Amino acid sequence: MKTLALYNVEAIDHLVQPSDFNDKTLNSPAMSVVTDFKHSLPNMINARSTARDALDIMQQEQTKLKLVVDNDGQLVGLLHLDQLSDQAIMRRMAFGESRDDILVADLMRPREKIKALAYQQLKQCSIADVVNTLQSSGELHCVVIDRESHQIRGIISAQDIARRLGLNLRIQQTPTFLNIFDSLSA
């Protein structure tokens, strides 16, 4: 067994962030932009959490996306920070709900409306292929499913890709009545 040398952290040693390593390009493997749950914990919140608590947590953690799980830890939806907007809360309150009674489950995108990419397929693709797919589908994020083992294996976010590649990536979402209503009332 070896004994390793220990060093002092010197003043010239600096803390790095993933953005310090801009070695990714659109031609890089798609797997390099997957947040793989085999290597990192999923960013989750319980569906029974209040919207107020979810907003506080997401702001404190500086995260914009949470996987929503039930009490058994099963995926039931996705929650984006935008879904906790004042307009979304006010819309629920207009139907008689109290602000403190609005839950994550009331505002999330339900599981049946979440889009997924296949883990096996991503192993053969580039980041450009993923960007093209996200742009053509209008999806800001997709879960990654291992179709052989039926596991939700990870997530891909257009915002993460844009940040890591230093791109101004625009995803045109399909307008819904609620999007139009929110933009008119803003």
Domain positions in the chain are 26-173
Strongest mean pLDDT among 4-8, 152-156, 163-167, 170-174 = 152-156
26-173: CATH class: alpha beta
Q: What pLDDT does residue 149 have?
A: 96
Q: Which regions of the chain does DSSP assign to beta strands (E)?
A: 35-36, 44-46, 65-69, 75-80, 109-110, 116-118, 141-146, 151-157
Q: Could you report the per-residue pLDDT of 24-65, keeping only the tens digit for each?
A: 889 999 999 999 999 999 999 999 999 999 999 999 999 999
Say if residue 177's pLDDT is above 90: no
Say if residue 165's pLDDT is above 70: yes
Place of tokens 């093209």: 132
Of 53-67, 115-129, 153-167, 171-185, the one with minimum mean pLDDT is: 171-185
Distance between CA atoms of 80 and 58, rounded to whole angstroms? 9
